[in-house]
Structure 1
Amino acid sequence: MSGEQAGAGPMATDFNNMGVQDMMKLYYSRLFPHQEMYKWLAYGNDGKHPKSDGTFFQRREFCFTLDGDIFVRYQSFKDGGEMAAALKDRCPSKIDIGPVYNVDPQRRAAYQGSGQGFSPLERELVFDIDLTDYDDVRTCGKEGHICGKCWPLMAAAIKILDAGLRQDFGFQHVFFVYSGRRGVHCWVCDERARKLTDEQRSAIANYFAVYKGQERGVAKLALSLDDHPAIARAYELLREAFEQRILPEQRLLEDEQQAQAVLAYLPNDAIREEVQRRWQHRSGSEERWEALVEAVEEEADALEVQGRKRQGGGDAPRAAGKAMRKALKDIVCAYTYPRLDMEVSKKMNHLLKAPFCVHPKTGKVCVPIDPDHAWEFDPDAVCTVGGLLNQLNSSSGGAVQGEEPWRATDMSQAVDTFRACFLDELQAEVKAGLAEKARQAAAEPTLAW
């Protein structure tokens, strides 16, 4: 069935009963926002401005995963129309986006051995966060599981990354995408970010790498007794998220294994025993956390008082008091700080799945996320390809002439979020930049021969 037939009139098909790959031709023909994707990835270089680079988009690498897990790398397209035609024709189960190279990646063989070579020139700074990396702190499920109880872990990661990228690095064009199953991708698209070297990308990724894995059941954390301002800001946000969302949703201190894992962060047996004694009279996770905090802070206060009373030897008790309070920060950050796939961020030529792909197992669309409403995002309510096609089918008789077909479906909300949170502001900036280049060129004195 062609895309044109799909829009001709109502059909009896229930697309929710079809396989995901069977629906991809209709999806790419009727629902995929080709124009928005082209506007983004062209960065104003669409040939409509005298100072635009007509080769820019064609030097971008796309990788198609075809049915049967066949990977086709180094795809390129001269413009958005050619990209749209290729998607409709080949119907990839996944689209990955790579860098912009110095030459058309499809013609790379022609430059082998030449002085020009084949190398990436720019690529968005990207981050990948997957809920499977939180399996040691989730009680609601493991591996491919995702639900409203563990989504706050992803929302917290979005908040930390968004604040850090904007406030600490000054980036403006940042957007987040639900991966379609159990994770989140972040794209940083400022020109300065796109031209970072691998070393600079690695440095930025390490800046956010507070969580560094596990050792003997306890998280290794790049935290000190004295907070870096960015850590202090993150901890304030994460403690609220931990206490109000993650702790009650995951019921961490009602699960015996998790409760013992939390106690392992306390500095000595005496405080652990005191907390367990207080827990005998507390039942829920929130009540038990309050008891733990009370015990730790009382002990820290006592140590600091002891340090003030000592003449010339108060440093050790004061340091012990600081370490006691740091244990609270360690617990919160161990359970909530973003756990990044570092390798994705470090290399310019790393591929990352494109927004608006359809996850082949869940059928969910990789929709943009408004970071201001990250807590409210519901992964269970994300539009699916089958649901979108059913909406398109039921509304096709009343479609508005000349309007993109996806406007009659929930895809419109996803595209509107993409525009409002990212694309519109980016487009305004790149157009202003091209106009400024034109003004500068016009102002240059012409040489008289």
Structure 2
Amino acid sequence: MPHSTVTDPVAPSSPTEEDSVLPDAPPHAVDEVKEEREEADENEQEDGDTIREAPKADVKLEDIFNDDDEDDDEFSSSGAATAKVESSPPAAPLQLAPAAKYTDPEVMLAFYQRLFPFRYLFQWLNHSMKPSNDFGHREFAFTLQNDAYLRYQSFPTGDLLRKDILRLNPSRFEIGPVYTANPRDRKTLRKSTAFRPIAKELVFDIDLTDYDEIRTCCDKANICHKCWSFVTMAIKVVDAALREDFGFEHIMWVYSGRRGAHAWISDKRARNMDDQKRKALAGYLELIKGGAQSGKRVNVKRPLHPHLARSLDILKDHFQRDILEDQDPWAEPQKAERLLQLLPDKALNDALRKKWDTAPGRSSTSKWADIDALAKSGASKTLDGKALLDAKQDIVLEYTYPRLDVEVSKKQIHLLKSPFVIHPKTGRVCVPIDTRRLAKFDPLGVPTVTELLGEIDEYDGRDLREEGEGKKAQDYEKTSLKPYVDYFRSYVAGLLKDEKGVKREREDDDAMEF
């Protein structure tokens, strides 16, 4: 169903200076745009559609400062669902799963009321316990249940964001940059240049559809454990580069909810990077270029850059197990011909082709071993051993190196889906990925929203029967979402600790000035 177009009564009828200085970011998170383009009846909103802005929320003094509370009891228990949100209904036994669909508005509302970690989201984007412009001037964008899309929403506190989400009950929402002014006030500014993005987490996007030419187990929006290994490889390589080559520490990987992952880098140095620096960093990590028919897709200089040498070291075991064994990419004759095109010696290629023609069904693992075996046998008198080694390294990189959508990373203005929202196609929560347990992360085992609500029902029923004593569990603690929220909480705590240190150093420097 196409997104509905909502008319803004104050939108200009022709391009203005503001439009030329600050073009609209893509209307939806990039991974969702790509996957919904595959289905003609669910195309994303076109650039020409007018975007509606919600009315400004009434702000009370107590709302602005209540996020300074050190109490972590943000998540409602079943007995007191939304004490801080005046307009929300009281929580009754859910009894929504398994019959309810995750797209049902009442399911989404129950999720936002009981499970979404608004407090930690606020702290993460605000970089402090006390409200600041890092959060207050941040853009949020909501996709409503009727497919209307609201851009340039902003909130002084996390609690006000929570109130508006409970009021609007969006199917998902996205996070944009911090601006020089409140995004809601952008049309009141005398000069359009006075409203511009000044900070945003550095982000990266990995999408398995970019691997369709080399993965053999699935295609398009489908994934399995075999092809998820491509995402695992990409996370290992990109995470190592960001930490070791650029010194970033606060890197959070988030499952997209369907077939990919996003990286959010929250170090202050990363947030303050301008578009030129973001483009340069994205270019540093980009290796796979060109389309499927573009011939050799990896051409790297020798000696290898230290980043690529490290990447090969990370990827070599994955190549043997996840590519040769699980994907078996050259099992079919036409795909084996693709492998031969990547090798540097015609005589060796002829010998390999002859061997494989006489042994149909030969596995990719065996074909890869045949390369060295025939090279050592003297099948080619003109073979350059170093050129063959270089070609084999390039092949390993082509089949294992991250395939990033670098356009997502290049501009501050890009919007990206918030962690912990519900993916509209799968019902799964977009949970953070603990890289310390990366190999154990199961995208198909991530809980769906209806499963989570069912777990609350089951826990509450058991709790009533047992009538246990002690502190009443928060709703997320009753579900399989708990380890993901706990990981997010720990990540945010580390970020806030470092931000306090940066602030203290700045204050000390100011105090020394005479």
Shorter-chain TM-score bucket reads 0.7 to 0.9
C-alpha deviation, 1:376, in angstroms:
2.4
Match of 2:439 in 1: 375
Question: Could you say if the C-alpha distance between residues 45 and 119 of structure 1 is closer, same or farther in structure 2, counting changes exceeding 3 Å?
Answer: farther
RMSD: 2.6
Question: Could you say if the C-alpha distance between residues 26 and 257 of structure 1 is closer, same or farther in structure 2, counting changes exceeding 3 Å?
Answer: farther
| Counterpart contact for 1:300–1:325, Cα < 8 Å | no
Task: Kindly provide the CA deviation profile for residues 14-35 of structure 1, in whole angstroms up to 9, marking residues without a partner as x.
Answer: 2454242431101100111111
Question: In the aligned structure 1, how far is the partner of 2:483 from the partner of 2:332?
Answer: 39
Match of 1:346 in 2: 410
* Bigger mean CA deviation after superposition, 241-250 or 164-173: 241-250
One-letter identity of the residue aligned with 1:290: A
Question: In the aligned structure 1, how far is the partner of 2:417 from the partner of 2:437?
Answer: 23
Question: Could you say if the C-alpha distance between residues 266 and 368 of structure 1 is closer, same or farther in structure 2, counting changes exceeding 3 Å?
Answer: same
Match of 1:430 in 2: 499
| Counterpart contact for 1:225–1:323, Cα < 8 Å | no
* Bigger mean CA deviation after superposition, 238-247 or 290-299: 290-299
Match of 1:410 in 2: 480
Unaligned runs of 5+ in 1: 48-53, 304-316
Match of 1:13 in 2: 96
Instruction: Decide which of 185, 203, 216 is 2:293's aligned counterpart.
Output: 216
Instruction: Decide which of 343, 358, 364 is 1:285's aligned counterpart.
Output: 364
User: Higher helix fraction: Structure 1 or Structure 2?
Assistant: 1
Question: In the aligned structure 2, how far is the partner of 1:298 from the partner of 1:175?
Answer: 49
Question: In the aligned structure 1, how far is the partner of 2:98 from the partner of 2:504?
Answer: 46
Question: Could you say if the C-alpha distance between residues 332 and 429 of structure 1 is closer, same or farther in structure 2, counting changes exceeding 3 Å?
Answer: same
| Counterpart contact for 1:174–1:189, Cα < 8 Å | yes
Match of 2:162 in 1: 84
Question: Could you say if the C-alpha distance between residues 80 and 300 of structure 1 is closer, same or farther in structure 2, counting changes exceeding 3 Å?
Answer: farther
C-alpha deviation, 1:249, in angstroms:
1.3
One-letter identity of the residue aligned with 1:286: T
1:163-202 → structure 2 map (5 Å cutoff):
163-202=240-279
Question: Could you say if the C-alpha distance between residues 297 and 207 of structure 1 is closer, same or farther in structure 2, counting changes exceeding 3 Å?
Answer: farther
* Bigger mean CA deviation after superposition, 398-407 or 332-341: 398-407
One-letter identity of the residue aligned with 2:134: F
Q: Percent identity?
A: 38
Match of 2:200 in 1: 123
3-state DSSP of counterpart to 1:63: strand
| Counterpart contact for 2:134–2:178, Cα < 8 Å | yes
3-state DSSP of counterpart to 2:140: strand
| Counterpart contact for 1:300–1:322, Cα < 8 Å | no
Matched, 1:61 2:139: yes
* Bigger mean CA deviation after superposition, 266-275 or 324-333: 266-275
Question: In the aligned structure 1, how far is the partner of 2:102 from the partner of 2:251?
Answer: 33
Question: In the aligned structure 1, how far is the partner of 2:423 from the partner of 2:456?
Answer: 19
Instruction: Decide which of 107, 111, 118 is 1:34's aligned counterpart.
Output: 118
Question: Could you say if the C-alpha distance between residues 216 and 87 of structure 1 is closer, same or farther in structure 2, counting changes exceeding 3 Å?
Answer: same
Question: Could you say if the C-alpha distance between residues 254 and 16 of structure 1 is closer, same or farther in structure 2, counting changes exceeding 3 Å?
Answer: farther
Question: In the aligned structure 1, how far is the partner of 2:377 from the partner of 2:190?
Answer: 68
Matched, 1:337 2:401: yes
One-letter identity of the residue aligned with 1:61: E
1:353-364 → structure 2 map (5 Å cutoff):
353-364=417-428
Question: In the aligned structure 2, how far is the partner of 1:221 from the partner of 1:300?
Answer: 26
Question: Could you say if the C-alpha distance between residues 270 and 222 of structure 1 is closer, same or farther in structure 2, counting changes exceeding 3 Å?
Answer: closer
Question: In the aligned structure 2, how far is the partner of 1:100 from the partner of 1:402?
Answer: 37
| Counterpart contact for 2:102–2:449, Cα < 8 Å | no
Greater relative contact order (Cα < 8 A, sep 6+):
1
Question: In the aligned structure 2, how far is the partner of 1:215 from the partner of 1:20?
Answer: 36
Unaligned runs of 5+ in 2: 1-77, 83-88, 465-469
Match of 1:310 in 2: none
Question: In the aligned structure 2, how far is the partner of 1:295 from the partner of 1:131?
Answer: 34
1:92-241 → structure 2 map (5 Å cutoff):
92-113=170-191, 117-214=194-291, 216=293, 218-241=295-318
* Bigger mean CA deviation after superposition, 16-25 or 74-83: 16-25
* Bigger mean CA deviation after superposition, 22-31 or 390-399: 390-399
Question: In the aligned structure 1, how far is the partner of 2:385 from the partner of 2:278?
Answer: 37
3-state DSSP of counterpart to 2:430: coil
| Counterpart contact for 1:127–1:340, Cα < 8 Å | yes
Q: How many residues align?
A: 421
Task: Kindly provide the CA deviation profile for residues 391-429 of structure 1, in whole angstroms up to 9, marking residues without a partner as x.
Answer: 011112439756431111111111122234x32321211
Question: In the aligned structure 2, how far is the partner of 1:298 from the partner of 1:378?
Answer: 44
3-state DSSP of counterpart to 1:98: strand
3-state DSSP of counterpart to 2:203: strand
- TM-score, scaled relative to structure 2: 0.76
| Counterpart contact for 2:348–2:379, Cα < 8 Å | no
Match of 1:255 in 2: 332
Question: In the aligned structure 2, how far is the partner of 1:101 from the partner of 1:388?
Answer: 36
C-alpha deviation, 1:224, in angstroms:
1.8
One-letter identity of the residue aligned with 2:155: F
| Counterpart contact for 1:178–1:369, Cα < 8 Å | yes
Question: In the aligned structure 2, how far is the partner of 1:263 from the partner of 1:391?
Answer: 53
One-letter identity of the residue aligned with 1:410: S
Question: Could you say if the C-alpha distance between residues 16 and 327 of structure 1 is closer, same or farther in structure 2, counting changes exceeding 3 Å?
Answer: farther
